[in-house]
Amino acid sequence: MALTTFSGPVKSNNGFIGQGAADLTADTTLTVNAHAGRVLTTNDADGKFTLPTITSDNIGSTFTFYVETAATDMDILTDGTDKFVGGLFTGVNDGENGKTFISGASNDVITMNGTTKGGLVGSMVTVTAIATAKYVVSGTILGSGTLVTPFADA
């Protein structure tokens, strides 16, 4: 990101969000400053990617995950208090119909395994902090076999 100089008052209710990509190659606890607003390429097949705790300062922060290395046991996690709302469409390319899975009220983990729970290369998941203890999730994940929900409780 280029150096920016401001002249006069500047107001940002939720901070300034970086742009570009960030490569996740190991278990990572995400931060708003380093990861929000970026495309997060996941290159750890069994990585654990933990979202920041939602506070009034980071509501509106969005994290977009792109699966670049097929998942075997990849997790997107909240802190356990924050929960997911929304859903994910799981698409397949073997003539079967895809399925949409809706998160349950207590779900705080998305697990992808590269087959029945999605997570093949090209899968994308977006999560946005929309309220205290609430991340909305959407996206399309790619899978195979008899599809099952990627949502779970820690």
pLDDT in tens, 3-27: 567 777 776 666 665 678 899 999 9
* Per-residue CA distances from 65 to 35, 139, 145 (Å): 10, 9, 23
pLDDT of residue 2: 47
Distance in angstroms (rounded) separating the CA atoms of residues 45 and 115: 12
> Chain-wide mean pLDDT for the chain?
92
Indicate the helix (H) or strand (E) that contains 23: strand 21-24
pTM above threshold 0.85: yes
pLDDT of residue 3: 56
pLDDT of residue 9: 77
pLDDT of residue 90: 96
Residue 109 β-bridge partners: 77, 152
Q: Are 79 and 136 in contact (CB under 8 A)?
A: no
**Residue 127 banded pLDDT, cuts 50, 70, 90:** very high
Rg (CA), the chain: 16
